[in-house]
Amino acid sequence: MTRPRAASDRFVAQLPDHIRSQVAVIHSPLLKIEPLTVAVESDESAGLIFSSANGVNAAALLNVDRCLPAYCVGPATTQAAQDAGWDAQMRGATAQELVANLLKLRPRSPLLHLRGEHSRGNVAERLTESGLTTREQPIYRQQLLPLSDEASQAAEDNQPIIAPLFSPRTARHFADVWAGSAPLWLAAISEAAAEPLKTLRFERLKIADEPTPDKMQKAVKKLLNHVMRVESAPGAD
């Protein structure tokens, strides 16, 4: 698992029991989330935008105003914001959907997008260009990490490895640090995340039908089914 540990644990916990019983989970987070020590000026904002649970957690540590409504990407981010005390609404499964839905909703503005230092989607820019004034502020850092010792050792083994990649940035980083010879089965959350993985030698690359945890779980299940068929085929080692 390549996400930060808490997010990886949630992803694995939601897989069916029969799937978890057939795999050994190796944790190798490729990102470390570090909240920034910044002052968030939200007094003039009419609402917040969260595009990740990491943004929610960092905002909670910074004591950002809980009285503001929060417009969120995805169910996990929405639930995190609700649990942290915000009146949070899911307004799309992706940043693109959130932008489209907010432009239809036209909530009071200006809005404030609290995000990481590295962010895709240009949410604030696209909303502002379409007449819904939105500011943005990075409130956490995503530090790239090497493969864990356990992952590096497994990479040199002959057992199949299923690696889910949840963002283009972590996919690029994985492609840079992977130097193993183990059979590699890849799940990418989007076409953009899949692109840098195409430089690797792999058995199969599955792209999620939609960039959501549910679709990524389905992609992982399909890969596991393929792996099991290959491993049980006549003549397989």
Query: Chain-wide mean pLDDT for the chain?
Result: 91
Instruction: Indicate the residue type of 233.
Output: A
Question: CB of 180 within 8 A of CB of 161?
Answer: yes
pTM: 0.82
- pLDDT band at 231, cuts 50/70/90? low
pLDDT for 228: 81
Name the least confident of 25-39, 43-57, 217-231: 217-231
Interacting residues of 118 by C-beta distance below 8 A, sequence separation 6+? 142, 169
Per the structure block, which two tokens stand in for 219? 């992609």
Q: Strand 134-144 to strand 31-35: parallel, antiparallel, or no bridges (unpaired)?
A: antiparallel
Contact (Cβ atoms closer than 8 angstroms) between residue 50 and residue 64:
no
Element (H, E) at 194: helix 191-194
d(C-alpha 189, C-alpha 49), whole Å: 22
* Parts of the chain belonging to CATH 3.40.50.10090: 35-143
Helix, coil or strand: residue 123? helix
| Residue 228 neighbours by CB under 8 Å, 6+ apart | 22
Residue type, 229: R
Quick one: average pLDDT of 148-163? 93
> pLDDT value at position 237?
47
Class of domain 5-30+145-232: alpha beta
Q: In the chain, what percentage of residues exceed pLDDT 90?
A: 74
Residue 15 clears pLDDT 80, i.e. is over it: yes
With beta carbons less than 8 A apart as the criterion, state whether 12 and 20 touch: yes
Cβ neighbours for 24, distance < 8 A, ≥ 6 positions apart: none
Percent of the chain past pLDDT 70, that is, above it, reads 97
Residue 232 has pLDDT above 70, yes or no: no
pLDDT in tens, 79-119: 999 999 999 999 998 899 999 999 999 999 999 999 999 88
According to the model, what pLDDT value does residue 161 have?
94
Buried b (16+ CB within 10 A) or exposed e, 183-215: bbbbbbbbebbbebbeeeeebebbbbeebbbeb
The answer to whether domain 35-143 has CATH 2.40.50.100 is no
Mean pLDDT check: name the lowest of 3-17, 70-84, 164-178.
Answer: 3-17
pLDDT band at residue 22 under the 50/70/90 scheme: confident
